[in-house]
Amino acid sequence: MAITYRRLLAATLVAGLTLLAAWTPARGAEPAPPAPAATAPNIIFVLVDDLAWNLVQYLPQVQRLQSEGATFTNYTVTDSLCCPSRSSILTGQFPHDTGVFTNGGADGGFAVFKGRGNENRTFATALQGKGYRTGFLGKYLNGYLPADTQGGSLPYVPPGWSEWYVAGNGYSEYNYDLNENHTVVHYGNQPADYLTNVLSRKGKDFIQRSAAANTPFLLEVSTFAPHSPFTPANQDLDDFPGLTAPRTAAYDRLPTNPPSWLAGNGPLTAQEKSTLDTNFRKRAQSVQAVDRLIGNLRAQLTTSGIADNTYVVFSSDNGFHMGEYRLTGGKQTAFDTDVRVPLVVAGPGVVPGSQRAEIVQNIDLAPTFQRIGAADVGTHVDGRNLLPLAQGDPAPNWRTGALIEHHGPNQAADDPDAQDRRNGTPVTYEALRTATYTYVEYSNGEREYYDRTVDPHQLNNIAAGLPATRLAALHDALTAYVGCHSHSACWTAGHVPA
């Protein structure tokens, strides 16, 4: 395993080479705290919106990242919905601990996240406390508005972030506002205003300035792409002519014994199939700017001479189904199309071209970032540090199950993720996903069980045929997982029946 940052820091201190760098903040930015040793690794986290595994084939920079780093093949989100997933990413906690289960209302959105004090215990606050420059670009949490002062005198910037360039409704990629370090700046409809490209430019600038100041940093770049309305950059509008949505084994098929929220869906119409094909092509086009963004950020790392000391992490907040299970475009289900998404990590000590099959989740990102920066991980954090896995360490006692929690149906008219029956409107559920099966319990008493070793596309729900003892064991394991509220308790609960 590569020398850890703690060892590097100790060696630097012993050698008397500790360097403190002064940094001159951009206009309106918060002043930086004293910088830690120059050997502290940097972190770039690129988080995209609604990207499923089937789009990675159109992302050569992500494929390059895979060849140079580690790919986690059993990485899932805690809920296939934007705000709950992003809340888990920021805090390292399950929805039952963040209190964020939806995009808005009494049990979700930015207001609930902030109101429950979650903003004071994110990986940003932890790393800023260790002297890191922290930057956030793009999409934050549903319900956040750039001009909102939250009772203060200036547009609100959450604690923990040294620099902040964040939109509210940036889904269209044009005609949006950014809160730029407490100042609202409007962008129009010119090619230079395309949001993903703006984030790319600001990200490069943040890296360049931080490197010049010899200051370690964490930068999260959170794109709105490829979320609907799937708006590509002008230069990508003609890409992939004739591309259609994948026709997997699950395309336009219902599982046997489907849950009631799904059972009434008839075959996809010709018009629905045509729309799915058009939208899939637009999604592939819209991620071309994301791919260039990744390439630009990595090129700036090289130019600034810090590429070898920077971790680059790529992931998505949730997946996206497009025609599978007779559902038009959407998410929110416990199917792998929605909950299993890419996670790729490259950087110091990471094994190039490696794959890790351990059960990992988005709750593991915050403690990973904190450990990279030598920050403490509180006992309230449900997740675990993934860096040893990325660096090739064995993990014989790793968790065996992931927990997924969802409140539904989600049909609020002002929600950008509102869905109807054709998109999929599952009722409230909790689920276990292991390397071999998916088990779901709905609030109406219905259950699903898919043995993915023989049924990888999840087309045969065999819950009704399981022995009573097996169902009882699964129920008890799921109940214990939903009831965990600490680092150790959730680790124990994550070891579920095989």
* Cα–Cα dist 431/331, whole Å: 15
* Cα–Cα dist 337/452, whole Å: 13
What is the rounded average pLDDT of the residues 69-77? 98
**485 Cβ partners below 8 Å, 6+ apart?**
96, 97, 380
- Largest Cα span, the chain: 71
Res 182: pLDDT: 98
Q: Which of these is catalytic: 82, 83, 484, 490?
A: 82
Res 15: pLDDT: 36
Task: Give the pairing type, strands 354-356 and 360-361.
Answer: unpaired
For residue 68, how far is the Cα from the chain centroid? 20
Q: Give the three-class secondary structure for 217.
A: strand
**443 Cβ partners below 8 Å, 6+ apart?**
427, 428, 429
Q: How confident is the model at residue 411 (pLDDT cuts 50, 70, 90)?
A: confident
Radius of gyration, CA atoms only, the chain: 22
β partners of residue 344: 71, 314
β partners of residue 166: 138, 179
Res 22: pLDDT: 30
402: closest CA among 340, 360, 452, 453? Answer: 360
* Cα–Cα dist 410/155, whole Å: 29
Residue 418's CB is within 10 A of a number of other CB atoms, namely 15
Q: Helix 270-303 to helix 60-68 angle, to the nearest 10 degrees?
A: 50
What is the rounded average pLDDT of the residues 417-440? 96
Residue 323 has pLDDT above 90, yes or no: yes
Res 5: pLDDT: 35
* Cα–Cα dist 294/287, whole Å: 11
* Cα–Cα dist 208/332, whole Å: 38
Residue 102 is classified by DSSP as B
Residue 352's CB is within 10 A of a number of other CB atoms, namely 10
Residue 219 has pLDDT above 70, yes or no: yes
Q: What percent of the chain has pLDDT over 90?
A: 91
Residue 13 has pLDDT above 80, yes or no: no
Per the model's pLDDT, the better-predicted residue between 339 and 19 turns out to be: 339
Place of tokens 């169902």: 471
Establish whether 82 is a catalytic residue. yes
Residue 463 is classified by DSSP as G
* Cα–Cα dist 363/383, whole Å: 5
Res 166: pLDDT: 98
How does pLDDT run across 23-66, given as a tens digit for each residue? 333 333 333 444 444 579 999 999 999 999 999 999 999 999 99
What is the rounded average pLDDT of the residues 200-217? 97
> Token pair of 284, please?
């592939």
Are 363 and 93 a contacting pair, CB within 8 Å? yes
How does pLDDT run across 448-489, given as a tens digit for each residue? 999 999 999 999 999 999 999 999 999 999 999 999 999 999
Residue 438 is classified by DSSP as E
Residue 285's CB is within 10 A of a number of other CB atoms, namely 23
Residue 148 has pLDDT above 70, yes or no: yes
Res 31: pLDDT: 39
What is the rounded average pLDDT of the residues 400-425? 91
> Token pair of 470, please?
């097996």
Q: What percent of the chain has pLDDT over 70?
A: 92
What is the rounded average pLDDT of the residues 196-206? 98
How far CA 271 is from CA of 231, 267, 268, 326, in Å, comes to 20, 11, 8, 13
> Would you give the end-to-end CA distance of the chain in angstroms?
29
How does pLDDT run across 93-142, given as a tens digit for each residue? 999 999 999 999 999 999 999 999 999 999 999 999 999 999 999 999 99
Q: How confident is the model at residue 11 (pLDDT cuts 50, 70, 90)?
A: very low
Question: Strand locations in 317-361, DSSP E?
Answer: 343-346, 354-356, 360-361
Kindly report the length of the chain.
498
Are 285 and 232 a contacting pair, CB within 8 Å? yes
Residue 212 has pLDDT above 50, yes or no: yes
Q: How confident is the model at residue 253 (pLDDT cuts 50, 70, 90)?
A: very high
Res 414: pLDDT: 80
Res 3: pLDDT: 36
Question: Strand locations in 420-492, DSSP E?
Answer: 429-433, 437-442, 447-451
Q: How confident is the model at residue 413 (pLDDT cuts 50, 70, 90)?
A: confident
